[in-house]
Amino acid sequence: MVGLKVRILSAVYALALLTIWGCTSYASKEDLQQLDERRAQVQSMRQKVTDLTNEKKKSEQEVQQKKQRLDQAKKEKEAVLKRLEEIEKSKQAQ
Amino acid sequence: MKLFSFVFAGLLLVAVVSAGMAQEEAKMKKEDWQNEMNSLTGQQQGLQYQIDSLNKAINSLKDEGAGYDKETEQLWNEIYAAIGTDKAGVEEIKAKLTELEGRINEYAKMSDEALSQKIPELEALKSEVVAYRQDRRYALTEIFNKVNDLANRCDQLIQRGKNYQPPKPKHDTYVVVTGDYLWRISGKQDIYADPFQWMKIYSANRDQIRNPDLIFPRQSFLIPRAQEANEYWVMRGDNLKLIAQKVYGSPASWVKIYNANKSIIGDDATRIYPHTILIVPKD
């Protein structure tokens, strides 16, 4: 009698475990490979964002320098025209 | 026995199933995989947006920079046109000014004495520099500054040469004439213009003067003009201890000075006279 109960209980227990185990769905090997590829893509894009951010900063500095050169050229033109007048006056005075 | 067999079989089954499940836990559940894939896709979209924005901004900056470059170049072309030159013409005057600067640098290395003999050359060099003020390229700020800097440097070198004065000799000489005595020689305008300084002549010519009251015509005396490094010229109020304090930093060293000058001080070390020239032995 006792043996029968134990047998039944064991069978029920084993069946329950197998059912739980069997019903859980897992990612396949291909799925995992796809996930790794996607992670690598994201990592690569992050790196690209970092690189582009640095490039943008560099470009901003270059533009600033170019703007300064332009401003200097404007001032230089004014100064040159003024000095040319003085040179001409000096030549005429001689 | 049967009971034991069943219990054992049950436990074994549980162990096998649990081990299998544990192994499967290393794998990813489909649901978790999907969640992570969705998350990564979202991140990719966000990052792609950032990349596009950054590329756009960089291109825009490049365009802006190119615009400034073009405008700057145009301005410089206008400047050169106003002057009547081009880049090559500017480089040519720069090279000439660099050559002049090299020559000025050579003069700058010279001593004031050497410069005092090169003043005409320096003035000619300055004229060469200043002549560029008539050149239309002088209107350019860089050339303007360079020419003026070089002209200033020439002026400074000329001034150094002009300011140079040859060092006075530390000794003059005087040849005794009939009727001279030390007091009289010292009082002469071109000697010390002060008869009280006769002790200087006496001190400096001890090898020729045994008795200060007895000098002879045609004797040639040294006339000290500046104190030598190993000398001390006695001043009013000095005594040997005070001099030792000044010279050695210790009044106790007066004996050293006394021993070196016994022949001129005499036996009484407490009595020294102003204008006596004492020899100061090295410490």
pLDDT, tens digit, for every residue of A37-61? 999 999 999 999 999 999 999 999 9
Averaged over B70-80, what is the pLDDT?
97
Q: Contact A14/B13, CB-based, under 8 Å?
A: yes
Q: Contact A76/B79, CB-based, under 8 Å?
A: yes
**Confidence tier at A90 by pLDDT (50, 70, 90):** confident
Which string of DSSP letters, residue by residue, matches B130-177? HGGGGSGGGGSHHHHHHHHHHHHHHHHHHHHHHH--PPPPSEEEEE--
Q: Contact B68/A80, CB-based, under 8 Å?
A: no
- Structural contact between residues B90 and B137, judged by C-beta atoms closer than 8 angstroms: yes
- Tell me what pLDDT residue B3 has: 57
Extract long-range pairs of B256-265: CB within 8 Å, 24+ residues apart.
Answer: B256/B281, B257/B232, B257/B281, B263/B206, B264/B202, B264/B203, B264/B206
**Confidence tier at A69 by pLDDT (50, 70, 90):** very high
pLDDT, tens digit, for every residue of B77-108? 999 999 999 999 999 999 999 999 999 999 99
**Confidence tier at A1 by pLDDT (50, 70, 90):** low
**Among A85-89, B11-15, B250-254, where is mean pLDDT lowest?**
B11-15
Averaged over B157-168, what is the pLDDT?
92
Two tokens at B281? 């032995």
Model confidence at B244: pLDDT above 90: yes
Beta strand spans in chain B (E): 171-175, 220-224, 231-233, 277-279
CA–chain centroid gap for B81, Å, is 42
Which residue of B37, B61, B142 to mutate against A (max A Cβ within 10 Å)? B61
Task: Nearest chain B residue to A72 by CA: give it.
Answer: B72
Cα–Cα dist B268/B248, whole Å: 21
Interface membership of B2 toward A (CB under 8 Å): yes
Q: Which of B33, B58, B133 sits opposite A27 (nearest CB)?
A: B33
Mean confidence (pLDDT) of chain B:
90
Tell me the chain A residues in contact with residue B82 when contact means C-beta distances shorter than 8 Å. 77, 80-81, 84
Q: How far is A60 from chain B (nearest CA, A)?
A: 7
**Among A69-73, A88-92, B24-28, where is mean pLDDT lowest?**
B24-28
CA angle A11, A17, A21 (to 5 degrees): 145
Q: Contact B48/A45, CB-based, under 8 Å?
A: yes
What value of ipTM does the predicted structure carry? Answer: 0.75
Q: Helix B119-130 crosses helix B87-108 at what angle (to 10 degrees)?
A: 160
Q: How far is A30 from chain B (nearest CA, A)?
A: 11
Q: Which of residues 56-75 of A touch B (CB under 8 A)?
A: 56, 59-60, 62-63, 66-67, 69-70, 73-74
Interface membership of A48 toward B (CB under 8 Å): yes
In DSSP terms, B277 is beta-bridged to B233
- Tell me what pLDDT residue B282 has: 84
Model confidence at B76: pLDDT above 80: yes
- Tell me what pLDDT residue B25 has: 47
**Confidence tier at A9 by pLDDT (50, 70, 90):** confident
Interface membership of B87 toward A (CB under 8 Å): no
**Which residue bears the tokens 């549980």?**
B14
Q: Give B29's DSSP letter.
A: B
Mean confidence (pLDDT) of chain A:
88
Q: Which of B87 and A3 is assigned the larger pLDDT?
A: B87
Q: Which of B7 and B50 is assigned the larger pLDDT?
A: B50
- Tell me what pLDDT residue A8 has: 77
Q: How far is B58 from chain A (nearest CA, A)?
A: 5
